[in-house]
Structure 1
Amino acid sequence: MSRHSQNWACLQHCGACCRLAPEERQEAIEALTPEQQSQYLAMVGNDGWCIHFDSGARRCRIYAERPDFCRVASLCSLFNIPEDRADAFAIACCRQQIRSVHGGRSLELRKFERLIRSTPPSR
């Protein structure tokens, strides 16, 4: 592993991944099985946010019981990503989603960049 490699970590109270609006997440929805797609679409509120997202606390109300497709560990299998590319893929996904939801110059994106630079490898 290069000393410049970054390790994925979740930025708590960001909530960008809870923005489920189907028109904004078509590639993600297409990677799901038909059953997962139904579950995903059932979780989308009228405002495009997950119905389980607590917007005040910016956290998931069902975190421990959230579906597999809400777990970063599932990204590799959903998108056929080799395990050795998991961190880079998760980081790219988070950057894209944080930019989309919070903006490219947002505090959330700056915090995420600091977090991934300081996170030690989990393996």
Structure 2
Amino acid sequence: MSNAVTLPCLGIVSMARRPKRTAKTNQIPPPTSVGFGMSKRKEPLWQCVEGCGACCKLEKGPSFATPEEIFTDPADVELYRSMVGSDGWCVHLEKSTRKCSVYNERPYFCRVEADVFDKLYGISKKKFNVEACRSCTDTIKSVYGPYSKELGNYNSTVMSSSSS
């Protein structure tokens, strides 16, 4: 007597969802469509959105890493801490415009660049765009809220510049 359980539709459904193998290589081809459409999935392309400033909220709360958890150099921790104003925002943020007053001379850790993400978080250059977009999305949600105009503006900007 077998312990196997037979589910009549399960085999058909799983077979229908399995990608077809190519004849020459006997390998499964990469997915080329999303949902029922035939368009290729767009990868987000990270970019800074002017007038956001969410990353300048330096004290974000317990769900975010502390400077001591991010930096290995105590000088970086000290510099970061010196930038935190009494309201938790960076002292270099011009609040009326949400622009950085030291943008061209800002510390390396304020730069959203592949090398910085690799150094601080161990995120490879290959995964930079996806992780940078995810980081910005999480930060914007935390600072302004999940239904904020800032998040809508960010998503719109990033997706309109996506690669196909």
TM-score w.r.t. structure 1 length?
0.90
How far residue 24 of structure 1 moved from its aligned partner, in angstroms, is: 4.7
| Runs of 4+, deviation exceeding 6 Å | none
Change (3 A) 1:113 1:3: same
Higher relative contact order (CA 8 A, sep 6+): 1
Is contact 1:22–1:41 with CA below 8 Å preserved after alignment? no
Post-superposition CA distance 1:62-87 (Å, at most 9, x none)? 00000000000112221010110000
* Aligned pairs for 1:106-117 within 5 A: 106-117=148-159
Structure 1 window deviating more from structure 2 (72-81 vs 102-111): it is 72-81
Paired residues in the alignment total 120
Q: Measure, in 1, the Cα distance between the counterparts of 2:130 and 2:66.
A: 17
TM-score w.r.t. structure 2 length?
0.68
Q: State the superposition RMSD in angstroms.
A: 1.7
Matched AA of 1:48: G
How far residue 4 of structure 1 moved from its aligned partner, in angstroms, is: 1.7
Query: Paired residue for 1:119?
Result: 161
For structure 2, the residue ranges without an aligned partner over 5 or more in a row are: 1-39
Query: Paired residue for 1:102?
Result: 144
Query: Paired residue for 1:80?
Result: 122
Q: Measure, in 1, the Cα distance between the counterparts of 2:89 and 2:63.
A: 12
